[in-house]
Amino acid sequence: MYYYILRNNDENLMYIYLPIAEQPIHSLAVLGVGAFLGLIMGLVGVGGGFLLTPIMMFLGIPPPVAVASVANQLVAPSVSGVLSHWKRSNVDFKMGTVLLVGGVAGSSIGVLLFNFLGKIGQLDFVIKSSYVIFLTLIGSLMFVESLKLILSTKRGKVSRGKLHQHNWLHGLPFKIRFRKSKLYISILLPILIGVIVGILAALMGIGGGFIIVPAMIYLLGMPTSLVVGTSLFQIIFVAANTTILQASQNQTVDIVLAIILLLGSVVGVQVGSRFTNVLKGEYLRLILSSIIILVSLKLLIDLITVPSDLFSIIISR
Amino acid sequence: MNFFFHIAVIFLVLIITSKTYAQNQIVADLSQENVKISTDFQGAKILLFGAYDGKKGDDIIVIVTGPKGLVTVQKKDKILGVWVNTKKVNYINAPKYLSISSNRKIEDILNKKTQKISEIGLNNLNVRIQPGIKVENEKQWRQALTRNMLKSNLWSINENSVSLNKDALFRSFLELPSNVITGQFEVKILHYRNSKLVSQQINSINVSKSGISAGIYSIAQNYSTLYGIFAVFLAVLVGWGSNLIFRKV
């Protein structure tokens, strides 16, 4: 009889103990989240890390572990994405290399910053508030854009924006020619974009696609067809650099969590990309932007409502 | 003379020991002395059982203490509309696990003074603040530590959880939560009669990581760069593999 009592509850076999997060988690929940986000990624083309990390935090994974492990898992969909874009010759490797130089430098700074914020006890706050800012921004932009598109197609006309605009940024020194992108611009610009995205990627556990894609279109003036493949190419290296540095500096990469997320997302992406032609893109974007706004709202509420206990503890391992 | 002296000493020792052993002995054992944290770990429930030489009205208190170390208490303040951690206090020797179990209310077993002297009870623990730091309103921080440790299930008070049987046998379940810290845990069993300690025994539980989980943890700690490179390699492999598999489907 005692033996029966002493055994761990068998009905909870679906739980898996995460060695770095040091807590059990329901494996189906993580697999499901991974698959769901993979599906969104396949359908819309964005939406990996910047939704995944907050959801991991909602599931109770400590933010440092969530950020580092999501960076690890992001490597896989990026590799897979680059391979398929490469086949269609949609990658500007020269531009990608310049971006990734900035990105690797930026993510290294990001990990150092991450380390420093952890030491002074402000890491959770910085991660959460940067999410609130960026998710609100991206979510509302996407929402408005897709709503406009839906309304204008209903009215029967499609508005077209300008693709390539020249501004003062193109006047910077050290100009270099990017044949594939048909650009002749200062090398400083893509490096700077890479650095900024790298810092954010390391801090927030994102690939940075949702920042770098608009930056490449509007600031660099790259052809849209090349943007996704090229950004994915640089994300591989930024995510890889972040993972290795997080692992060696902070020991926060949970490989078990990353693998479960990976398996879910890999299948999700493939299923999603198969249905892209079935469902209308703008409606999907509308739904996705609503989800993003909801997530940022939840994070915002956590930050501004009076905590149930003003005190919290950190137990050092 | 010498010979007789020896005999006498041995005899005396035997009498003393046999008397204490026979009368005031407490014998206890645990259903599990090694707790392994493997990939299916969700906490452990350990049965503590044993025999004691009791009389009607005797009490048993079981105190399980985990490894001690640094626990930081942080306090949030409202800055520009958001709640941010602003102050912190470090407790340098706080037990990272503590459970106090007894057969009835501890205040009925021991008076406040005895509790304080024998360091029984959450408020009687000797936890020290990191020296060199001035702390205002120390009591508030100390209460916050207790409250949050209780909330995380790492500290607990389980009155009425030790069951006694015919003043001779006792048993109690010790629960280790899934977020338990690894290390050596001390299990102290105290036998009281009229608020006086009659006998005690100390057992220990060793909590350690095992299997794949332990392997991953130790590699992540000791070969952290290699671990990171491997993690990336694995992700690249999965990404590339999925591309190959799904292209053919």
My answer on whether B135 and B162 are in the same domain is yes
Whether residue B20 is contained in a domain is answered as no
My answer on whether B110 and B215 are in the same domain is no
Whether residue B5 is contained in a domain is answered as no
Residue numbers in B near A8 (CB within 8 A): 40-45
Q: Which residues pair with A16 in a beta bridge?
A: A25
pLDDT digits (tens, 9 = 90+) for B177-215: 988 989 999 999 999 988 888 888 999 999 998 888 888
Residue numbers in B near A13 (CB within 8 A): 40
My answer on whether B157 and B73 are in the same domain is yes
B116 band by pLDDT with thresholds 50, 70 and 90: confident
Which residues contact residue B15 at a Cβ distance below 8 angstroms, ignoring those fewer than 6 apart?
Answer: none
Residue A80: closest C-alpha in chain B: B239
My answer on whether B148 and B194 are in the same domain is yes
Contact B228 A246 (CB under 8 A): yes
Which residues contact residue A88 at a Cβ distance below 8 angstroms, ignoring those fewer than 6 apart?
Answer: A229
CA B160-A9-A17 angle, to 5 degrees, is 110
Whether residue B8 is contained in a domain is answered as no
Quick one: which H or E segment has residue B93? strand B82-95
Task: Give chain B's domain count.
Answer: 2
Instruction: Please state, in angstroms and rounded to a whole number, the distance separating the CA atoms of residues B178 and A214.
Output: 44
A-proximal residues of B, 188-247, CB under 8 Å:
209, 212-214, 216-217, 220-221, 224-225, 227-232, 234-236, 238-240, 242-243, 246
pTM: 0.79
Q: Which domain holds residue B135?
A: 27-209
For residue B127, how far is the Cα from the chain centroid?
Answer: 15
Helices (H) and strands (E) in chain A, counts: 11, 5
Contact B231 A258 (CB under 8 A): yes
**Any chain A CB within 8 A of the CB of B178?**
yes
Burial class (CB in 10 A: 0-12, 13-18, 19+), A11: exposed
What letters, b where the CB count within 10 A reaches 16 and e where it falls short, cover A183-208? bebbbbbbbbbbbbbbbbbbbbbbbb
Whether residue B4 is contained in a domain is answered as no
My answer on whether B221 and B162 are in the same domain is no
My answer on whether B238 and B141 are in the same domain is no
**Six-digit token pair at B185?**
């845990």
Cβ–Cβ under 8 Å, residues A265 and A32:
no
**Could you tell me which of B129, B147, B130, B125 has the C-alpha nearest to residue B138?**
B129
CATH number for position B134: 2.60.40.1930
A107 band by pLDDT with thresholds 50, 70 and 90: very high
Which residues contact residue B192 at a Cβ distance below 8 angstroms, ignoring those fewer than 6 apart?
Answer: B58, B59, B60, B61, B109, B110, B198
Whether residue B112 is contained in a domain is answered as yes
Mean pLDDT along residues B98-106: 92
Model pLDDT, residue A166: 57
Instruction: Please state, in angstroms and rounded to a whole number, the distance separating the CA atoms of residues A127 and B71.
Output: 22
Mean pLDDT along residues A242-266: 90
Quick one: which H or E segment has residue A138? helix A123-155
Cβ–Cβ under 8 Å, residues B188 and B200:
yes
Contact B82 A303 (CB under 8 A): yes
pLDDT digits (tens, 9 = 90+) for B210-241: 888 888 999 999 999 999 999 999 999 998 88
My answer on whether B135 and B239 are in the same domain is no
Contact B81 A2 (CB under 8 A): no
Mean pLDDT along residues A256-265: 89
My answer on whether B172 and B230 are in the same domain is no
Whether residue B187 is contained in a domain is answered as yes
Residue numbers in A near B225 (CB within 8 A): 244, 247-248
Average pLDDT over chain B reads 86
My answer on whether B144 and B216 are in the same domain is no
My answer on whether B79 and B184 are in the same domain is yes
Contact A316 B71 (CB under 8 A): yes
Whether residue B21 is contained in a domain is answered as no
pLDDT digits (tens, 9 = 90+) for B144-186: 999 999 999 999 999 989 999 888 899 999 999 988 989 999 9
**Six-digit token pair at B84?**
């941010």
Whether residue B22 is contained in a domain is answered as no
My answer on whether B168 and B220 are in the same domain is no
My answer on whether B109 and B199 are in the same domain is yes
Instruction: Please state, in angstroms and rounded to a whole number, the distance separating the CA atoms of residues B222 and A246.
Output: 14
Contact A122 B84 (CB under 8 A): yes
